[in-house]
Structure 1
Amino acid sequence: SERVKSLFNVESGANFDLDADLPIDDKDWSIGVVVGPSGSGKSSIGKALWKGKALYKPEWEKRVPIIDSITPNGDFNTVTSALASVGLGSVPAWLRPYEVLSNGEQFRADLAKVICERPEQVVIDEFSSVVDRQIATIGAGAFQKAYRRTGGQAVLLTCHYDVLEWLEPDWVYDTATGEFLRGCLWRRPKIEMQIHQTNWQFWPTFEPHHYLKLPHMIAATNYVATVNGELVAHVAFSTRPGLVEARACRLVVMPEWQGAGVGLKFLNAICEMWRQGKNRYDKPMPTLFHTSHPGLCAVLRRHPKWTQVSANLYGGSKRKSRLSISASTKKKTGKQINSAGFGGHFRAVQGFRYIGDGGVE
Structure 2
Amino acid sequence: MNIRIEHQCPNYQSYRAARVKSLFNVEQGHKVVIDADLPIDSQEWQIGVIVGPSGSGKTSIGREFGPLYDPAWPKNLPVIDAITPDGPFDPVPAALSAVGLGSVPAWLRPYHVLSMGEQFRATLARLVCEAPRLAVLDEFSSVVDRQIAQVGAGAFSKAWRRTGGQVVLLSCHYDILDWIKPDWVYDTADQSFQRGWHRRRPEIKVEIRQAAQRDYAVFEEHHYLKLPPMVAATHYTAWVGDEAVAHVAFATRPGMVEARACRLVVMPEWQGAGVGMRFLNAVCDMWLAGENRYGLPLRTLFHTSHPGLAAALRRDPRWTQVSAMLAGGNKTKSAATLAASAAKAGVKFSGGSGFGGHFRAVQGFRYMGDSCE
Matched, 1:14 2:69: no
Q: Using the alignment, how far apart are the partners of 1:77 and 1:312 within structure 2?
A: 16
**What's the counterpart of residue 283 of structure 1?**
296
**What's the counterpart of residue 93 of structure 2?**
80
Taking the TM superposition and a 5 Å limit, the aligned residue runs for 1:92-131 are 92-131=105-144
Partner deviation per Cα, 1:82-140 (whole Å, 9 max, x = no partner): 11111111111111111111111111111111111111111111110111111100000
Partner deviation per Cα, 1:132-156 (whole Å, 9 max, x = no partner): 1111000000111111111122111
Q: Using the alignment, how far apart are the partners of 1:277 and 1:34 within structure 2?
A: 50
Q: Using the alignment, how far apart are the partners of 1:257 and 1:92 within structure 2?
A: 17
**What's the counterpart of residue 35 of structure 1?**
51
**What's the counterpart of residue 349 of structure 2?**
338
Matched, 1:181 2:181: no
Match of 1:148 among 151, 158, 161: 161
Q: Using the alignment, how far apart are the partners of 1:242 and 1:323 within structure 2?
A: 26
Per-residue deviation, 1:183: 2.8
Q: Using the alignment, how far apart are the partners of 2:342 and 2:241 within structure 1?
A: 46
Per-residue deviation, 1:325: 5.0
Q: Which segment is superposed worse, 230-239 or 181-190?
A: 181-190
Amino acid at match of 1:44: S
**What's the counterpart of residue 261 of structure 2?**
248
**What's the counterpart of residue 47 of structure 1?**
63
Amino acid at match of 1:129: S
Partner deviation per Cα, 1:193-234 (whole Å, 9 max, x = no partner): 000111222212111111211222220111100101111111
Q: 2:230·2:263 contact (CA, 8 Å) conserved in 1?
A: no
Q: Using the alignment, how far apart are the partners of 2:187 and 2:145 within structure 1?
A: 22
SS of residue matched to 1:16 = strand
SS of residue matched to 2:349 = coil
Q: Using the alignment, how far apart are the partners of 1:84 and 1:6 within structure 2?
A: 55
Q: 1:169·1:186 contact (CA, 8 Å) conserved in 2?
A: no
Instruction: Quote the RMSD (CA, aligned, Å).
Output: 1.9
Percent of pairs identical after alignment? 64
Match of 1:136 among 131, 134, 149: 149
Q: 2:100·2:272 contact (CA, 8 Å) conserved in 1?
A: yes
Q: 2:343·2:349 contact (CA, 8 Å) conserved in 1?
A: no
Q: Using the alignment, how far apart are the partners of 2:43 and 2:97 within structure 1?
A: 28
SS of residue matched to 2:119 = helix
Per-residue deviation, 1:11: 6.7
Q: 2:327·2:357 contact (CA, 8 Å) conserved in 1?
A: yes
**What's the counterpart of residue 231 of structure 1?**
244
Matched, 1:172 2:185: yes
TM-score (normalizing by structure 2): 0.90
SS of residue matched to 2:36 = coil
Matched, 1:66 2:79: yes
Q: 1:306·1:354 contact (CA, 8 Å) conserved in 2?
A: yes
Unaligned 5+ segments in structure 1 are none
**What's the counterpart of residue 40 of structure 2?**
24
Q: 1:5·1:11 contact (CA, 8 Å) conserved in 2?
A: no
Q: Which segment is superposed worse, 255-264 or 53-62?
A: 53-62
SS of residue matched to 1:352 = strand
Amino acid at match of 2:84: T
SS of residue matched to 1:112 = helix
SS of residue matched to 1:39 = coil
Q: Using the alignment, how far apart are the partners of 2:72 and 2:228 within structure 1?
A: 40
Q: 2:68·2:138 contact (CA, 8 Å) conserved in 1?
A: yes
Per-residue deviation, 1:317: 2.9
TM-score (normalizing by structure 1): 0.93
Q: Using the alignment, how far apart are the partners of 2:128 and 2:324 within structure 1?
A: 28
Q: Which segment is superposed worse, 40-49 or 136-145?
A: 40-49
Count residues with an aligned counterpart.
Answer: 355
Amino acid at match of 1:145: K
Unaligned 5+ segments in structure 2 are 1-11
Match of 1:5 among 10, 13, 17: 17
**What's the counterpart of residue 195 of structure 1?**
208
Amino acid at match of 1:15: K
Q: Using the alignment, how far apart are the partners of 2:137 and 2:228 within structure 1?
A: 43
User: Do the aligned partners of residues 305 and 30 (structure 1) sit closer, same or farther apart at CA in structure 2, a change above 3 Å counting?
Assistant: same
